[in-house]
Structure 1
Amino acid sequence: MGRPSIAAVRREQILDATKSTIAEHGVHGATLDRIADSAGMSRGHVRHFVGNRDRLLLDTAIAVFADRSGRVGSILPSEIADLEGALDYLFGPEFNSPDRENAVVLGLVELSRVTPDIADVLTTAYTATRVQLAELVARAHPDASQESCLTAAYGVLTCALGSVFLGDFDRDPARMTRTRAAAESLVAAL
């Protein structure tokens, strides 16, 4: 197998630098100059390999929400096979740690309000997640209506996302336990 092209390597470096810059300076502070500095390149090289800032931010959104094939899909890992696994992930430390990835997602959420293409990426990812959760809820509760399963999935996802956003400032050690209990209550009510 051949080596990856220098363009592909540089592109990955730039996407990584973009995520770091958004995490450190916010989405509006993620200028091409800062991204170039973080990547150890000139601004011209960044533009050469990824285009303008708008294109770079869209590519970053796609990279954050894409699966291994490069397609934007569910935010749940592909190995999740049941509702318990989904809840473990959504209310577990990996998804809920206030880390770089969550800072980037928050920046992209902010940007989605004024950038339709980024809003489309986020909508695609979270819709796929909601649909996957509804399917997992339906498997766990086969007698529940499709609408009830979709409503419960919406509630579970809303609890998980709300808890992630609160995690940046709410240091209550019971936050995740309580949030998961709220989500489980929604599902148990089916």
Structure 2
Amino acid sequence: MNAAPDPAPRRRGRRSGGTDTRSGLLDAARAEFAERGFEGATVRRIAERAGVDPAMVNHWFGGKEKLFTASLELPLDVHRVRGTILTADPDDIGEAVVRGFLTVWDGAEGGAIAAMLRSVTAHPTAARMLREFITRAILRPVVERVSPDRHDERGALVASQLIGIGMMRFVVGLEPLASAPQEEIVAAVGPTVQRYLTGNLGSTNPDS
């Protein structure tokens, strides 16, 4: 029952299903997401890199999105946050986006998100992963649901607001933003995010 481990290299997909598997998947996921981005990384590649069966991703994390979140050590359920935003009235979705992010960030008092924000200027990998997390995992479904056009541009504009709030509130500590109540920020920033999502962004044609 307590036999010594086999020192020979294990075949892909045969690592034991314990916590070492979870740790190996997280290490492999961080490397794959850093190299290939959220879209380019696949469950199969991550599992191959970790030396486990792809089924272990679902067993431990429930899919690629949750593995991505876990690899960033972010304290949130992507599906829950996104679902809450998408159930909002389209005319109020700007406020829902701001409220959703503030709820997560304030609940963790910045936490891992603040640590990532601090690192993005010095570490391109951290910047890419934060960018892809916000634009791909959270905002893209929202933009595709409610925005009439220019989805990439609208998503980037919304992300700029969210990252800016996070940076000023949790990293720089800029007052009165750092200590302002959530709903005060939601009321102030929500209409801007709403315009980015559903409003007129102006013409892209300088001659029109």
Structure 1 length-normalised TM = 0.49
Structure 2 length-normalised TM = 0.46
Which structure's CA Rg is the greater one?
2
